[in-house]
Amino acid sequence: MIMGLPFAKRAARRFVVGETLDEALPAVGDLNRDGILATLDLLGEDVMTPQEARQSTAGVTGILDGIRRAGVKSNLSLKLTQMGLRVDPQLCQENLEVVLQRASDLGNFVRIDMEGSDVTDVTFRIYEKARERHPNVGIVIQSCLRRTEKDVLERLIPAGASVRLCKGAYNEPPDRAFPQKSEVDASFKRLTDLLLSPESRSRGVRTAIATHDEAMIRHVKDKVARGEIGKGDFEFQMLYGIRRDLQQSLAQEGHTVRIYVTFGTQWYPYFMRRLAERPANVLFLVRNIFRG
């Protein structure tokens, strides 16, 4: 019902670049002209039939061809529940393989987003199996989860993984996730230190720091200033529509910046997560009702 309301559609457009790949690719070109990279995401998650999963797989694979055709600098992000994880993990693995093979053929890279903690284990298993065949796949970890430090130390650093660190956007129970923002932030800084340590880098770990939080960004920039790491040792990542000023200033300072650019018709859950993150965004939604 909400997806049919014009004011909700208008408000969602702050975070969602458009409904089609043809609308998304020029936006990526604009970012590239500002010296900013992208990762494209076709919205969609929790598909419940094999047919929907195959359709999503075709849509996601088509992004890789679109990137090549348009000659823009972007890789791809996807969700495993979009590839059929909730239908059958084996089907999901097979669909992921199709995407990864196409990415390998085109010399591109695929990032597997991390979803709610009910699928963390199976997401790691599918990622690890895929990585045996494809070095061009990376994973996301969430600093809000209590388990993440162990995952980093025991799985990701030894494997020399490509990791995007974020805080986590899903509502989690306190036995699995830190309930206080201060704990999530402290965990984010600890994980940043682990991922960017000399040992991790010598094992080939590649790190993306995905946040708009200036305190987290400062933590990384201080390491650069102290000479512990170079600007080429990591990238900053942010979401389309959030803190564009910060995105541009980091790029102008010579940091690698990549924006997560979402498009598609299935914007409702993504939009709700963006609203939930920041109460002020609800006012933004209300303003759109009156603008209409």
Chain contacts with ligand FDA (rule: CB under 6 A): 113-114, 140, 142, 166-170, 210-213, 237-239, 242-243, 260, 274, 277-278, 281
In 3-state terms, what secondary structure has residue 179?
A: coil
Provide, rounded to whole angstroms, the least separation between the CB of residue 245 and ligand FDA.
10
Provide, rounded to whole angstroms, the least separation between the CB of residue 86 and ligand FDA.
16
* Choice between 157 and 166, CB closer to ligand FDA: 166
Name all contacts of 28-35 with Cβ < 8 Å and 24+ positions apart: 28/67, 28/70, 28/72, 28/73, 28/74, 28/261, 29/70, 29/72, 31/259, 31/261, 32/72, 32/73, 34/248, 34/251, 35/251, 35/252, 35/257
Provide, rounded to whole angstroms, the least separation between the CB of residue 176 and ligand FDA.
13
> Residue 277 class from Cβ within 10 Å (0-12 exposed, 13-18 middle, 19+ buried)?
middle
Neighbours of 154 (CB within 10 A): 10
Q: Is 65 a catalytic residue?
A: no
Which tokens is 136 given? 């061009």
* Choice between 25 and 271, CB closer to ligand FDA: 271
* Choice between 107 and 279, CB closer to ligand FDA: 279
Catalytic one of 86, 111, 131, 164: 164
Q: Is 274 a catalytic residue?
A: no
Catalytic one of 41, 113, 185, 233: 113
Backbone angles phi, psi at 245, to 5 degrees: -60, -45
Provide, rounded to whole angstroms, the least separation between the CB of residue 192 and ligand FDA.
12
* Choice between 51 and 272, CB closer to ligand FDA: 272
Mind telling me the catalytic residues? Answer: 113, 164
